[in-house]
Amino acid sequence: MKLYNTMTRRKEEFVPLVPGEVKMYSCGPTVYNYFHIGNARPFIIFDILRNYLEYKGYKVTFVQNFTDVDDKIIKRAKEEGITEKEVADKYIEEYFKDAEGLGIRRADYHPRVTELISDIINVVKKIQDNGFAYEVDGDVYFDTTKYREYGKLSKQNLEELEAGARVEVGEHKKHPMDFALWKKQKPGEPAWESPWGMGRPGWHIECSAMSMKYLGETIDIHSGGQDLIFPHHENEIAQSEAATGKPFARYWMHNGFININNEKMSKSLGNFFTVRDISKMYDLEVVRLFMISSHYRSPINFSKDLLDSTKNSLERLYIAKNNLLHLLENAKDRDETEEEKALREKLMTHKDKFIEAMDDDLNTADAVSAIFDLVRDINSNINENSPKTLIQFAYDLYMELAGVLRIVTKKEESLDDEIEKLIEERQKARKEKNWALADKIRDDLKSRGIILEDTPQGVKWRRA
Ligand SMILES: Nc1ncnc2c1ncn2[C@@H]1O[C@H](COP(=O)(O)OP(=O)(O)OP(=O)(O)O)[C@@H](O)[C@H]1O
Ligand SMILES: [Zn+2]
């Protein structure tokens, strides 16, 4: 498999450090809000990378952190009159709800900064002992001038960076690009004891410490959004390599942005849709399919129109799945003809295409196309006259590929049951002359592509 490595700026053959095992770390959310569609992109993409590596037979250990102490969380807690822990607990719980809706599995470890303070302090001490950090009145800074390779990920050199840098008032660092490993407590802020007095970790150090704790000093893949290349990942590399003297991560992967009107979707610009808001209008599986229909490094311009067309595409995938299930129920047991055997071969070519695409730097866009091509061939070649073995083969192949991307995962029964239940509710509302509720249920179903028809035999439904 080839992966694009930001460190070398080219696609490289992926070779894990230990054969058969992959250790990967992805920078997780700062938990002071619901996460938005832009944030969802790395969560979905790197979860798919993990699935795919497992599909290929690797044993994967995956870590994604929660930043649960930082300026934004402290601000949020003050605004709401609650503790930082309460803010973080709430949004971690909400993260898991939305992530589940998006089909994202839990990582093997989801460490939180506040639970690893002593590990973080130990890494800061190591960096200081190795001569790469200095203390000024309770703050500890990383000395960028001591780390010769500073800038190697973002391809910038220290002199140029220093020329453009600004030192904020109140900072006591020796060089403009030095950054905080440990921050002295300010009044009213959460703080922990340390060799440098009461304080809290800087942002970058948490990922170095967590990655080392759960995955070891050198890991295979480190990932996040493109905005993290500098300074976050550059600083993670400097800290980690200063602490251990070993390479920190072998492959650096970065996803492109979700934009709105060609501008990055971000909390600070206010141009974002939270996953939670979108979940009120769309099944989140639509968002997942939308996200993986582009290559992860390409920018995506987000629009509701795109979501609508993705919704229709997903519906087509479900119809094909349900057709196969219905065909299976009544299928004949008979031997396959030569032509039917040849069809198997033809269907398998789509699997080859799928794998070729995924092996080429996780090209989910082409992988999704391969699934649609497969579905097209299934629809036009498999019918009620097909033998059971062939229908089962087509169904298994389809579900195998969809399963790697974790799409088309819902069972038909559960969908049908839910619709029947809503129809009953609507009948009850009509009996009670609650026309508003009855209309609302009909319209909600319509927006999901389910059309109700009142017939003399009762209410019937069909897919639009
Ligand atoms: N518009 C976007 N498109 C793709 N990825 C994004 C986008 N915005 C943030 N990310 C990624 O989301 C992940 C979670 O980051 P985090 O919770 O720190 O969000 P953030 O950077 O604070 O968001 P914002 O930029 O909206 O303030 C990071 O990997 C980050 O690179
Ligand atoms: Zn990080």
pLDDT at position 345, please?
97
- Please report how many Cα atoms fall inside a 13 Å half-sphere around the Cα of residue 62, on the Cβ side: 22
Atom of ligand 1 nearest to the CA of 267: 26
pLDDT, tens digit only, all 464 positions of the chain: 999 999 999 999 999 999 999 999 999 999 999 999 999 999 999 999 999 999 999 999 999 999 999 999 999 999 999 999 999 999 999 999 999 999 999 999 999 999 999 999 999 999 999 999 999 999 999 999 999 999 999 999 999 999 888 878 778 899 999 999 999 999 999 999 999 999 999 999 999 999 999 999 999 999 999 999 999 999 999 999 999 999 999 999 999 999 999 999 998 899 999 999 999 999 999 999 999 999 999 999 999 999 999 999 999 999 999 999 989 988 999 999 999 999 999 999 999 999 999 999 999 999 999 999 999 999 999 999 999 999 999 999 999 999 999 999 988 666 677 788 888 899 999 999 999 999 999 988 887 778 888 888 888 888 76
199 lines ligand 1 (CB under 6 A): no
Domains and CATH numbers, the chain: 2-255 (3.40.50.620), 309-405 (1.20.120.640), 416-463 (no CATH)
Q: Which ligand is nearest to the CA of 64?
A: 2
Cα 153 to Cα 237: distance, rounded to the nearest angstrom = 8
Which residue of 6, 30, 32, 39 sits with most ligand 1 atoms within 8 Å of its CB, as the best mutation to test the pocket? 39
Whose CA is closest to atom 12 on ligand 1?
39
Integer Rg of the chain from CA? 26
Q: Which ligand is nearest to the CA of 299?
A: 1
Going by C-alpha positions, the residue among 346, 380, 350 that lies closest to residue 367 is 350
Global confidence as pTM? 0.90
Tokens of 454: 């009142």
- Residue 207 marked in a binding site: yes
Atom of ligand 1 nearest to the CA of 72: 22
Cα 128 to Cα 119: distance, rounded to the nearest angstrom = 14
Residue 365: φ, ψ to 5° = -60, -50
pLDDT at position 445, please?
84
